[in-house]
């Protein structure tokens, strides 16, 4: 009898010691009523970049594996004609501004009809709109990243002609990450949006990370008796890799 008590005490002390020093692979759920589940770590978003303006690729400023910031230039299309259009529209705006300024004296002295002043002001507004349009068309020749992420694929090369339907780059967003979990139906009322969970990725990533439940599917797969859960996992230093399996231990609300 004493042997069993001593053995139980030793095992309890061993588990306490292993948890205290943070030994890898140990996962004690905060909420013991919820089992530890398997999950997959995925990129939160994958963007396939195209163009609104057909043209010839001039420069590709990034390569596969490069980290890019939102708004960063990644591809330049040839834009000689668009630059000329901007200069032309700007020159026309300046011309009509000077013409309207020279006519101000005549308008003040009633030596020119009021309708002439209206025509010049309207013409200047039109030219300014044309300049704005030319600048917007020029902007379309510069392709920028819509997200912070990593270049997954480069699908074009300098000199290629691209249309609106052509994919040029694939960028994947790695901060934050998504953790996708398939859970048994008996947990449907126990997992709530906003709950926290501890994420333990498989090797080579070490350590524990905290994620938040963002989606709990309300439609159950009848064939398997399961439903889907998505968690949002912060990854500011990009130390966690997408595509890894992980253990998910729910902490509670």
Instruction: Identify the helix (H) or strand (E) that includes residue 107.
Output: helix 80-108
CA distance 123 to 129: 10
Mark whether 183 and 134 lie in a shared domain.
no
Residue 155 lies in a domain: no
The pLDDT value given to residue 16: 38
Query: Predicted confidence band at 27 (pLDDT cuts at 50, 70, 90)?
Result: very low
Cis bond before residue 204 (omega within 30° of 0): yes
CA distance 249 to 32: 9
pLDDT higher than threshold 90 for residue 169? yes
The pLDDT value given to residue 114: 60
CATH number of domain containing 109: 1.10.287
The pLDDT value given to residue 15: 34
The pLDDT value given to residue 108: 60
Residue 158 lies in a domain: no
**45-65 average pLDDT score:** 94
Within 8 A by CB and 6+ apart from 152, the residues are 46, 64, 170, 171, 172
Mark whether 177 and 245 lie in a shared domain.
yes
Q: Both tokens of residue 171?
A: 């960028």
Among residues of the chain, what percentage have pLDDT more than 70?
81
pLDDT tens for each residue of 202-231: 988 888 999 999 999 999 999 999 999 999
pTM, to two decimals: 0.70
Residue 68 lies in a domain: no
* Number of independent structural domains in the chain: 2
CA distance 5 to 50: 69
Determine the structural domain holding residue 104 and report its residue range.
79-140
């Amino acid at each position: 009898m004493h042997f069993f008590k001593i053995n139980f005490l030793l095992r309890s002390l061993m588990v306490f010691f292993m948890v205290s020093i943070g030994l890898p692979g140990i996962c004690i759920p905060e909420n013991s009523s919820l089992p530890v589940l398997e999950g997959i770590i995925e990129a939160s978003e994958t963007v396939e970049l195209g163009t609104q303006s057909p043209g010839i690729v001039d420069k590709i400023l990034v390569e596969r594996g490069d980290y890019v910031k939102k708004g960063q230039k990644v591809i330049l299309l040839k834009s000689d004609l668009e630059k000329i259009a901007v200069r032309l529209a700007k020159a026309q705006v300046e011309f009509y501004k000077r013409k309207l300024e020279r006519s101000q004296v005549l308008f003040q002295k009633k030596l020119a009809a009021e309708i002439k002043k209206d025509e010049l002001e309207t013409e200047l507004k039109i030219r300014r709109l044309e300049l704005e349009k030319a600048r917007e068309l020029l902007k379309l020749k510069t392709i920028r990243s819509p997200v912070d992420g990593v270049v997954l694929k480069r699908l074009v090369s300098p000199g290629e002609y691209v249309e609106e339907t052509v994919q040029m780059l694939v960028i994947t967003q790695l901060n934050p990450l998504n953790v996708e979990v398939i859970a048994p139906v008996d947990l449907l009322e126990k997992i709530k949006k906003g709950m926290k969970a501890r994420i333990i990725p498989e090797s080579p990533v070490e350590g524990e990370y905290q994620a938040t439940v963002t989606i709990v599917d309300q439609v159950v797969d009848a064939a398997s008796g399961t439903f889907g859960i998505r968690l949002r996992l912060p990854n500011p230093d990009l130390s966690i890799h997408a595509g890894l399996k992980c253990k998910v231990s729910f902490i509670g609300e």
